[in-house]
Amino acid sequence: MSSLNTESTSGLCDSCRGVSPFTVSSIRTTATGQQLGYRHRTYQDLEQSSSLCPLCKLILDELIKASHPTIKLKKGRVHQVLLSSDKYHSVEHTRRELCVITVLVTNSNARAFLHAWADPSSDAALSGDIAGHALHPAPNSPGAFRQIQTWLETCLRSHTECNSVPLADADTSSTTRFPTRLLDVGTNNTPFVKVTDRQNALERYAALSYCWGPAATQLRTLKSNLAEHTTTGINISAMPATLRDAVIATRNLGLRYLWIDALCIIQDDSPDWLREAPQMGLIYQNAHLTIAATGSSSSTGGLFHPRDTTTNQSVVELSYLPPGCTKPRTFFVGPHTPFFDKVVTASVWNSRGWVLQERNLSRRIVLFSVGQLFFECIRHSVAEDGLVLAAVR
């Protein structure tokens, strides 16, 4: 975490020094009933303290940013700022698993979210107090691909339900274990379309799920260029950004083969299309991994969207002393990361008719979204920032 431009804990106000995975996830009994989370300042006090305290400034900035179009306060009422977790505990010494801090202002429409994370090797993370992870600087960075590999390995090793889905029977004439054609991306070679032997296993392959966009921008395999695509190959620089990035991702994940509909089905050959299109559900189901371009509305949009590195300026380092411990633990709080519903569920990619089979039949799918990566399998959905979502299948 040394690369982050963090604010010193010495500049925090008393209210912010009390923020910890224990206080934001606590249940307190008050005169009016139970209160969840941590009682911070009033909103009016927050405006004053933000000029001195970096966490107060972060909270105020995120509240203002999230309010549409402006924060509406009820006159004559107390506007208490509350910080809370989605996991609450009434007993001490249990795992806090803090990743997201919700900021609420009572008697108003104001709500915002903060991202909490810790160094994976720190006591805060190893104890289970902090479940959040720092985002990688770019979705195509070595660390990002290591994260995807970790998700894959965990799923392969531990998720029996994800690995017990039967593959299509290669001996049945109506189905194939492997697609008729795959793009052989190798390691450094020019990718080329390879005709497979359906009866014999090649290697694991990835499948691309993406939005085509205007047909004029789409690179396709046609009867006129089929021979070139299968022999000479396809110059990666000639590919639209999404296809090119999918080749790069496939290579970085240690896979040799990639299925892309536009390249592996002869697009102007009706008999080939009628034969291959009904197999697409099986192609996604049998893929080792589906790569989803959820952040792009066309094949020119790409997988690897630049990330806002300026948010590092708002990162605040906090320390806390757990009950029964003598050594403080450290974690970080920063602006919230993009939520699944906003960048995946509401995406153009997810509105397509084809996505029903591409997403629901894939046993594992990595979603390259704007802001962060997500991974879905039959068991669950997880985010790059450490948030574990409910079961999705």
Q: What pLDDT sits at residue 169? A: 44
Q: Which pLDDT belongs to residue 257? A: 94
Q: Give the model's confidence band at 171: pLDDT under 50 very low, under 70 low, under 90 confident, else very high.
A: very low
Q: Sorting pLDDT into bands at 50, 70 and 90, what band is 210? A: very high
What one-character-per-residue DSSP string does 296-356 give?
-SSTTS-S-----GGGGGG-EEEEE--TT-SS-EEEEEEEPPPPHIIIIITSTGGGSTTHH
For the full predicted model, state whether its pTM sits above 0.75: yes
| Distance from C-alpha of 342 to C-alpha of 113, rounded to nearest angstrom | 14
Q: What is the pLDDT of residue 251?
A: 96
C-alpha 359/C-alpha 344 separation (Å) is: 11
CA dihedral 14, 20, 26, 31 (to 10 degrees): 10
- Look at residue 4 in the predicted model and tell me its pLDDT: 45
Report residue 69's pLDDT band, with 50, 70 and 90 as the boundaries: confident
Closest CA to 253 of 153, 157, 160, 182: 153
Share of residues in the chain with pLDDT > 70 (%): 86
- Is the pLDDT at 254 greater than 90? The verdict is yes
pLDDT at 174: 42
Mean pLDDT of 281-295: 94
pLDDT in tens, 147-167: 999 999 999 999 988 886 555
pLDDT attached to residue 87: 77
CB 132 within 8 A of CB 100: yes
pLDDT above 80 for 15: yes
> With DSSP H G I counted as helix, E B as strand and the rest as coil, what are the percentages for the chain, rounded to 5?
30, 20, 50
Q: What is the pLDDT of residue 293?
A: 96
Q: Are 106 and 82 in contact (CB under 8 A)?
A: yes
- Give the least confident one: 40-54, 59-73, 123-137, 223-237: 59-73
DSSP label at residue 190: P
**Mean pLDDT, residues 354-380:** 91
Give tens-digit pLDDT for 326-354: 999 999 999 998 888 889 988 999 888 87
The CB density around residue 218, as the number of other CB atoms within 10 Å, is 17
For the CA atoms of the chain, what is the radius of gyration? 25
Does residue 33 surpass a pLDDT of 70? no
Residue-level pLDDT at 27: 72
pLDDT (0 to 100) of residue 45: 93
Does residue 177 carry a pLDDT above 70?
no
Q: Lowest mean pLDDT of 23-37, 169-183, 242-256, 310-324, name the range.
A: 169-183
Beta-bridge partner residues of 332: 117, 317
Once rounded to an integer, what is the mean pLDDT over residues 181-203?
Answer: 82
Mean pLDDT on 3-28: 78
Q: Is the pLDDT of residue 1 over 60?
A: no
Identify which has the larger pLDDT, 387 or 93: 387
pLDDT given for residue 163 in this prediction: 81
